[in-house]
Amino acid sequence: MRRVLVALTFIVGSASATITILAACGSTFTPSQPDASNVSFYGTQCSTGGFGKAHTWHLYYTDGHETAAFQVSAAGTCNNSAQTPCYPGFDTPVW
């Protein structure tokens, strides 16, 4: 029973390490962080039709698959009675 448990632990650990290495070393994205090169704004600030911000990424996977123009967006809000627009912030993506 002990041998089976040791073997199973080794197999699970090895598989986990392989998946972690593939995810960390192979898959990438451009640009490397949110910046002016991949941002777009939509709508009219503080209007009834809504407004917001989007970032577009190009994803490269370890198996050779690519996803071009993967867009992440979020709506903006208007703060206080002065109708001050507030846009969402985006963090640098991680795998």
DSSP per position, 29-60: EESSS--GGGEEEEE-TT-TT-EEEEEEEEEE
- Return the higher-pLDDT residue of 77 and 11: 77
What's the pLDDT score for residue 68? 85
Q: Over the range 50-78, which residues count as b (16 or more CB within 10 Å of their CB) and which as e?
A: ebbbebebebeeeeeeeeeeeeeeeebee
Q: Where are the domains of the chain?
A: 27-86
What's the pLDDT score for residue 36? 80
Q: Each residue of 54-67: pLDDT tens digit?
A: 988 888 888 888 88
What's the pLDDT score for residue 14? 60
Q: Answer whether 95's CB lies under 8 Å from 57's CB.
A: no
Confidence of residue 19 (pLDDT cuts 50, 70, 90): low
What's the pLDDT score for residue 20? 54
Distance in Å from the first CA to the final CA of the chain: 37
* Of the candidates 24, 45, 33, 46, the residue with the CA atom closest to the CA atom of residue 72: 33
